[in-house]
Structure 1
């Protein structure tokens, strides 16, 4: 009986010892580790229980990890995605994955089954302030409101910050509600519940950021107006992001063109892809960041999208084109 009592306790103690050993190893790596392939940082804050510190470390690049655990262990690996290319080229993703010219890589691109030329209008407002300029927020919020009223809801508005999302929701909430449009915002409820409500209510609007730029599948009438408030560049003070840019500078590369733009292009493509989810879907993508049309690097974004009609000009004209497109008779069902 004594053995039966002690054994579970011993197993529990061994488990605690193993976890403590793992924590010790992690803490050693964060505080005094010399592995140059890792990024280390601490996050300091306060909770109800008092001060809180979170220590983190992450690989600077995943290429070597993938090589050891994937490329060298399997005879073949297949990647499929609608967002693997930047300007129709696989160069960026190959570099990130460590697939240099020593690997035999077969690249294939297939045409989309969706008729973007007939079912999508891409509108770019070019008279709004640059996102870095004073007055950007004050100008885009009315444009968002007018666009959502024109589409009678049925809109997904994607932001790159909660600050602008919350400011927009606060400014437009009453006007939308007065027109019978339900406003849903990220954070109001769990993600899956937000998407269920948005899908079920064709007179609703969903405002979101971060993860909603990808993985959102809302086919049908509930989504015909997709608004991208600004180009989705990474936050520049994020530790891993900063470390990767520093590494590129040390290699003589320009991190803006080698890393920041390609990353933003892939996220932009993911956002664009939320609109058309089946052959019957139709709608407008409204871009409120004029840099996509006025900066030289804007072509990286546009050339990475499926071919579709593009209208750029003053917000007033773009919104008029949007209304006309959405009010036009929907084409017959495509087989």
Structure 2
């Protein structure tokens, strides 16, 4: 395994090393999804006459790049070949822009570009690592995680880089913020409440965009991370790994859903991480035991069938995000 791939496996698959009082323990077995889902071909989805575009991260030789696919059979293209290390893509609410993190001389910074890679704008410029951007519903602000203060915290910023507001301030580490589609809450993963011996422990929390109303969402005492909201803002999908200790098999990650009041955590999919909720579908990354690489999948929540949006079996693919 090369160095870039090793860093990717540790850093991108939900930070593997790294609430409401009604919250209950996650169920230990899938409640609705078969353990070996049927893999079917996927048709090109469209919204009106505009085909969907898929952005994803590919671990290529000596580079980790964001790629775009039109899902019409044409080859996937690198978003910006000048960035040897780019990750955490997220589409703007109108589906025409991407925000993402790029490694440069100061660490990682947040950038925005058009869908074709043009009109590149650097949003953050502070030294440190700024990652995991998430758009406000109106597309005018972003939340992101940063260690610029010496500890990972959650920040809010205007898309032009102005008016930075630190939303969290805790000795624990806070990561992976996600703004709800209705604009009322930001979900994030945190190590609050875990001892040094449980250094990989994570729970999900909610906070308002004005930094008020902090609530703990999960109490599973493992690694809960990578939250993503349902389109109606009433549920979240997230990645859960049963251990709070460092290490573990990436294929042991699972995707759960939970209501925004912390009730009904439900196992949805085994061997799955990087979820994105798409109406009645959830896109995710899985570890392919045949190719020994990570691959992209889509779970249909109505039929429980799993489809393949794009296949590049010689590479590690991860972080799938659709613009519609």
Compare the two structures and name the one with the higher strand fraction.
2
Relative contact order: is structure 1 or structure 2 higher (C-alpha 8 Å, sep ≥ 6)?
Answer: 1
Compare the two structures and name the one with the higher helix fraction.
1
With normalisation by structure 2, the TM-score equals: 0.29
With normalisation by structure 1, the TM-score equals: 0.28
